[in-house]
Amino acid sequence: MPLVHRPTFAEQLATRRDLVDNDFRALLLSIVAYVISQLPTSRLVNEKFDIEALKSLQRKCHRTCRALQRTCYGPTTCTQISTIIFDTFYLLSIGLGHTASARLGHAIQLAFSMGMHSDEKTDALGLDPIEVQLRRRVFWQLYATDKTRAISDLPMMINDFQGVCSLPEPVDDEFITIQGSFLQPPSRPSAICGFIVVSKLFKILSECLFHHRCIMAKIQLTDTACTETLEDRLQEVLRDFPDGSYKLSGNNDGIVQNMLAVQRANILITAAICKFALSHKEQLAKEREAIAREIHSSLMK
């Protein structure tokens, strides 16, 4: 999740900002708890930490983080909302779905109160380019998490008619400074390009869910023509992302290639969810295997 500006984050770590800033300390603790829940246990277990020690560390990080968040008063910041997002994923990993939903709802309410959903409101604040891009990333991560929950029939807490901000720029963090953004080198795909494609897919999924719920509630706001339009948009979005044959040059080409492979897998799975949402119930059983084969074939490229 691209919720920090890496050069700024690295500088804050090096200067031990956590010693003087409770918000930053809470963010660090939430990231540790999140990472432990996401990485394979085999990569984390060592002489110092067995599985039980890792779980204990995770719980301590989360509890301390929550205690620090309770002391936060005054204007809301991107850091505070990012911390809640990491908390949400940790809570989901330990089976506390209802608590995670409540935390997500809190984060969404804070984001709207900050005007993250509106480019106009963001522009009026006169923020530097780093903060502008972080606000967009945080909003679209909230958007994606909300739509993921809604797949299982939970209410959508972000509705498109309330307004959504622009997508983040497809530029790596080292090319974004407080003075402005530089162009991404054409030979090097941005690490955030996959996040942008997935965000576009979730936008399509959001419209699918809206149409489904209108039909279920017998509200005549949509027609069947929208399905074809959404399918066309889905194919257009998928064409924007480099496929497995994309070749890179440079010292870190292996790292970037692996990153693109992970992002491509995430995109294909999200695209499959969109395809299922666009399929009629009668067709779904027949198409499920075909879509699964298509994803498998694409991942093997």
Q: Are 9 and 2 in contact (CB under 8 A)?
A: no
Mean per-residue pLDDT for 69-78? 75
Copy the structure tokens of residue 236.
């257009």
Alpha-carbon span 133 to 135, nearest angstrom: 5
Those residues whose C-beta lies under 8 Å from the C-beta of residue 232, and which sit 6 or more positions away, are none
User: Mapping DSSP to helix (H, G, I), strand (E, B) and coil, where does residue 181 land?
Assistant: strand
pLDDT, position 224: 65
Alpha-carbon span 114 to 26, nearest angstrom: 20
Q: Are 146 and 108 in contact (CB under 8 A)?
A: yes
Most confident of 87-91, 221-225, 283-287, 293-297: 87-91
Q: What is the mean pLDDT of the chain?
A: 84
pLDDT, position 49: 83
Radius of gyration of the chain (CA): 20
- Among the ranges given (127-131, 225-229, 265-269), the one the predictor scored with the smallest mean pLDDT: 225-229
Mean per-residue pLDDT for 2-23? 93
Q: Residues 218-240: pLDDT tens digits?
A: 777 666 677 778 888 888 888 76
In the DSSP assignment, the letter for residue 4 is: S
Q: Are 2 and 191 in contact (CB under 8 A)?
A: yes
Q: Residues 139-149: pLDDT tens digits?
A: 999 999 999 99
Choose between 75 and 222: higher pLDDT. Answer: 75
- Confidence band of 123 (pLDDT split at 50, 70, 90): very high
- Confidence band of 48 (pLDDT split at 50, 70, 90): confident
150-to-20, 101, 146, 198 alpha-carbon distances in Å:
39, 11, 6, 16
pLDDT above 90: residue 242: no
In the DSSP assignment, the letter for residue 185 is: P
Residues of the chain by 3-state class (helix, strand, coil), percent to 5: 65, 0, 30
Alpha-carbon span 18 to 12, nearest angstrom: 8
What is the model's pTM? 0.87
Q: Contacts from 122-128 at CB under 8 Å and sequence distance 24+?
A: 122/165, 128/178, 128/179
How many alpha carbons lie under 13 Å from residue 146 in its C-beta half-sphere?
A: 23
Those residues whose C-beta lies under 8 Å from the C-beta of residue 36, and which sit 6 or more positions away, are 44, 54, 55, 57, 58, 61
pLDDT above 60: residue 261: yes
- Confidence band of 290 (pLDDT split at 50, 70, 90): low
Alpha-carbon span 291 to 6, nearest angstrom: 36
Alpha-carbon span 104 to 158, nearest angstrom: 11
Q: Please say whether the dihedral angle defined by the alpha carbons of residues 114, 270, 151 and 55, taken in this order, is positive or negative.
A: negative
Alpha-carbon span 105 to 120, nearest angstrom: 23
Q: Are 61 and 33 in contact (CB under 8 A)?
A: yes
Those residues whose C-beta lies under 8 Å from the C-beta of residue 51, and which sit 6 or more positions away, are 41, 45
Q: Residues 98-114: pLDDT tens digits?
A: 999 999 999 999 999 99
